[in-house]
Amino acid sequence: MKKQEYAPIYVFTEYSKAFAPHICYNKRSITKDWSRNMLDNIKQKLKRTLDGARNALKRTIIRTRRRSAAFRRAGGMRRVMDNLVDGVRKKQPRALITLGSAAAAVIAVAVIIISGGGKAAAQEEIASFLLPEDAVNIAAAMTPTPEATYAAPTPEPTPTPVSMGKGATGAQVKAVQERLMELGYMDYDEPTEKYGSVTKEAVEVFQRRHGLTVDGYIGEETYDRLMRADALPYMATVGDEGTDIEELQKRLVELDYMKKATGYFGDETAAAVKEFQDRNHLDVDGMIGVNTKEALYSEDAIPHSLSYGEKSDDVLKYQKRLFKLGYLTTEPDGTFGKDTASAVKLFQQLNGLIADGHIGPQTRKLLMSSDAQANALTIGMSGDTVKNVQKMLKKLGYLSSADGYFGSGTEAAVRSFQKQNGLSADGKVGRATMTKLVSGNAKAAPSDKPAATPGGSSGSGSSGGSSGGSSGGNYSSGASADRLIEIALSKLGSRYKTGAKGPSSFDCSGFVYWCLNQAGVRQGYMTSKTWRSVSKYQKISSIDNIQKGDIIVFRMSSSKGHVGIAMSGSEMVDASSGEGCVVRRSYKTDYWRKYFYCAYRIF
């Protein structure tokens, strides 16, 4: 090997030999060590570069997911098109220019294609339309060429870590609630910026479902999983434990599928769920998903109880009780036929139960108790029987007309009739009142007293109110909008709980149901979905025509909705899942206007 190929090393070795001739120097080994050091340095630099690129990519992915989620929450492309249409309708210059440019481009392309110019000519025409050559030349001539500058690149800001827990407030909380509602972990409601106990419980259930640490706290991992497109919807299965499981079990107890609620989803709960799914024509898997949960809280849920077609001594016992209370008009025979089913439904309706026609645990308990209300026409009912009673009251001068609906005006007329004829003035048409009406010797109304209007208010205010924890509410005056509002306001701050019907906790439909019955309106329980198809109350189609005491119905989807009680022409009282309690708020916000379905005039 020639010396010049290793000139630096040769000089070094020759110089060293002069001072240490006894040492043997190997030129090849020195070259090898030097190359290895260079290679190690290159590897380290490459590793640092790759690590930096990997971290930058992770930050980009997180930002992209957040922006995508924000775009979806803002309404996506549908919202963009809605804004464009709205801008054109309002004749905003920017919207008109955008629409005009798009229309002109489409027309130009169509003309070129029709005239035989082909695709290339069409593309050329679009380019020249969007950026005319003359305009480019003029702009270039008038714009001086800037001197080259070399500014340092602006560093990307590091995303602020997500960190939310109970008590937190802000727009991120609102986004979290919206997503939890979409996935079935929270009941639909206007999202708020308050992270309360209901939101915390929903987050805990979400974390349990996704195998995350269950702490009710939203960090980066929980937030990222929640906002992903493949986030799992609500599901409860064997091994789960929590307040949501306890509430589901309570509903299964109500329907007679379980004996008690424990809060733990074990084999007994799975067996009860399977039986419920089988009886209600659902997929039988023993798990409670969105569909099974919805069916559980529906008034159409089929309980594990006495129902149509059965024959037994128990049926005979309950028939005798229904006959005594005036609901069953045929002779008790121990067979659960159509007449028995109709009698049970009427009993449930007048006694504030879910009118499903089945004799379940709650119906059995109330039917055999001293609190059972006897059959009587009362406020909120409608039909031919009501109309016939109104005609008799009109004939005697107590009522001005007959419309078939038992409103507060009809109740006032009945009270006047009862007082005039020496009966107990409760405003209900029971056996004694009906017997007197058809007797032929009933006293007519005094000539100096004007007849009441069927749908009008009785004019009676509330003489009392229920306390925060009372479940009774013994009000002496007739049902009225004022009384309903007073009862509703007495429950402000009561906790929100799915499926609860009072007196200390409610969901939205349970709150309306409880307040109406406490106010003297015998209304069976209905979900927010069922409220859409009510026919016995006057329907209000405009949100601007709502009055005090109306029941407001909102529709978020085919199966999800919300209900509240109107306090005035702008405010309502309702049980809010977002706030976690019963609240008083405006129903004329953009959110509620978007989902308004109808309202019903009770008084």
Report pLDDT digits (tens) over 202-249: 999 999 999 999 999 999 999 999 999 999 999 999 999 988 899 899
Distance CA 241, CA 248 (A): 11
Pairing of strands 505-506, 495-496: parallel
Fold match, 171-233 / 313-367? yes
The H or E element spanning position 506 is strand 505-506
Q: For the chain, give every domain's residue range.
A: 3-60, 76-139, 171-233, 243-296, 313-367, 481-601
What pLDDT shows up at residue 40?
A: 76
How distant, in Å, are the alpha carbons of 177, 407, 497, 552, 592 from that of 587? 19, 25, 21, 9, 6
Judged against a pLDDT cut of 60, whether residue 403 lies above it is answered with yes
For the chain, what is the largest distance between any 2 Cα atoms, rounded to a whole number of angstroms?
A: 147
Question: For residue 141, what pLDDT is reported?
Answer: 45
Report the amino acid identity of residue 431: R
* Percent share of the chain, pLDDT over 90: 40
323-339 per-position pLDDT tens digit: 888 888 778 999 998 88
Residue 411 is inside which H or E element, if any?
helix 408-420
% of residues, the chain, pLDDT over 70: 75
Q: What is the DSSP letter of 259?
A: S
- Range from 85-89, 447-451, 511-515 that averages highest in pLDDT: 511-515
Classify domain 171-233 by CATH number.
1.10.101.10
* Cis peptide upstream of residue 503 (ω within 30 degrees of 0): yes
The confidence band for 199, taking pLDDT boundaries of 50, 70 and 90, is very high
Q: Are strands 561-566 and 581-586 parallel, antiparallel or unpaired?
A: unpaired
Kindly report, residue by residue over 182-191, the tens digit of the pLDDT: 999 998 899 9
Mean pLDDT for the chain overall: 80
Collapsing DSSP to helix, strand or coil, 600 comes out as: strand
Q: Can you name the residues that pair with 495 across neighbouring β-strands?
A: 505, 581
Asked whether the predicted pLDDT for residue 174 surpasses 70, the reply is yes
What are the DSSP E strand ranges found in 194-327? 235-236, 288-289
Rg (CA), the chain: 38
pLDDT of 153 > 70? The answer is no
Q: How confident is the model at residue 95 (pLDDT cuts 50, 70, 90)?
A: low
In this model, does residue 175 exceed pLDDT 70? yes
Across 529-537, average pLDDT:
86
What secondary structure letter does DSSP report for 501?
B
State in Å, rounded, how far the first CA of the chain is from the last one. Answer: 112
Indicate whether 71 pLDDT > 90: no
CA-to-CA distance for 367 and 323, rounded, in angstroms? 11
pLDDT at 385: 73
Q: Among 476-480, 502-506, 598-602, which range has the highest average pLDDT?
A: 598-602
The Cα 380–Cα 378 span in angstroms is 6
Positive or negative torsion for Cα 338, 340, 342, 348:
negative
Using CA atoms, how far residue 570 sits from 548, 564, 584, in Å, is 9, 12, 11
CA distances from 356 to 251, 284, 506, 513 (A): 15, 22, 21, 15
**pLDDT of 198:** 92
Mean pLDDT for 528-549 is 91
Q: Is the pLDDT of residue 566 over 60?
A: yes
Q: Which two tokens stand for residue 361?
A: 């645990």
Least confident of 139-153, 258-272, 277-291, 527-541: 139-153
Using the predicted structure, report yes or no on whether residue 148 has a pLDDT greater than 70.
no
pLDDT band, residue 300 (cuts 50/70/90): confident
Count other C-beta atoms under 10 Å from residue 9's C-beta. Answer: 16
* Distances, alpha carbon 42 to alpha carbons 28, 37, 38, 184, in Å: 22, 9, 6, 53
CATH number of 313-367: 1.10.645.10, 1.10.1740.10, 1.10.101.10, 1.10.580.10? 1.10.101.10
State the average pLDDT over residues 78-98.
Answer: 68
The domain made up of 481-601 is a member of CATH 3.90.1720.10:
yes
Q: What is the mean pLDDT of residues 388-415?
A: 89
Three-state secondary structure along 146-163? CCCCCCCCCCCCCCCCCC
Closest CA to 595 of 557, 559, 550: 557
3-state DSSP assignment of residue 53: helix
571-576 and 581-586 strand pairing: antiparallel
- What is the rounded CA–CA span in Å between residue 215 and residue 227? 18
Tokens 């005798």 correspond to what residue? 320
Q: How do residues 238-283 score in pLDDT, each as one tens digit?
A: 999 988 899 899 889 888 899 899 999 999 999 999 999 999 999 9
> What mean pLDDT comes out for the span 152-175?
79
Tell me which long-range contacts 177-185 makes (C-beta under 8 A, separation of at least 24): 177/578, 178/73, 179/69, 179/73, 179/226, 179/227, 179/231, 180/206, 180/226, 181/577, 183/231, 183/232, 183/233, 183/234, 184/233, 184/234, 184/290, 184/293, 185/234
Query: Is residue 447 scored above 50 in pLDDT?
Result: yes
Q: Which structure tokens are listed for 228?
A: 């992903």
- Which tokens belong to 551? 């029941």
For 485, the token pair is: 């509002």
Contact indicator for 366, 351 with CB cutoff of 8 Å: yes
**Is residue 383 a contact partner of residue 391, using CB atoms and an 8 Å limit?**
no
Question: At residue 468, does pLDDT exceed 90?
Answer: no
Range of weakest confidence among 225-234, 461-470, 592-601: 461-470
- pLDDT band (50, 70, 90) for residue 498: confident
Contacts of 465 (CB under 8 A, 6+ apart): 473, 486, 487, 490
- Asked if residue 205 lies in contact with residue 242, where contact means CB atoms within 8 angstroms, the answer is yes
Nearest to 406 by CA among 425, 430, 432, 387: 387
pTM, 2 dp: 0.56
Of 517 and 562, the one with more pLDDT: 562
Identify the pLDDT of residue 177. Answer: 94
pLDDT value of position 6: 46
What is the reported pLDDT for 229? 92
Q: Alpha-carbon distance 564 to 583, whole Å? A: 10
Can you read off the two tokens belonging to residue 78?
């549908």
Centre a 10 Å sphere on the Cβ of residue 568 and count the other Cβ atoms it contains. Answer: 13
| For the ranges 60-69, 458-467, 558-567, the one whose mean pLDDT is highest | 558-567
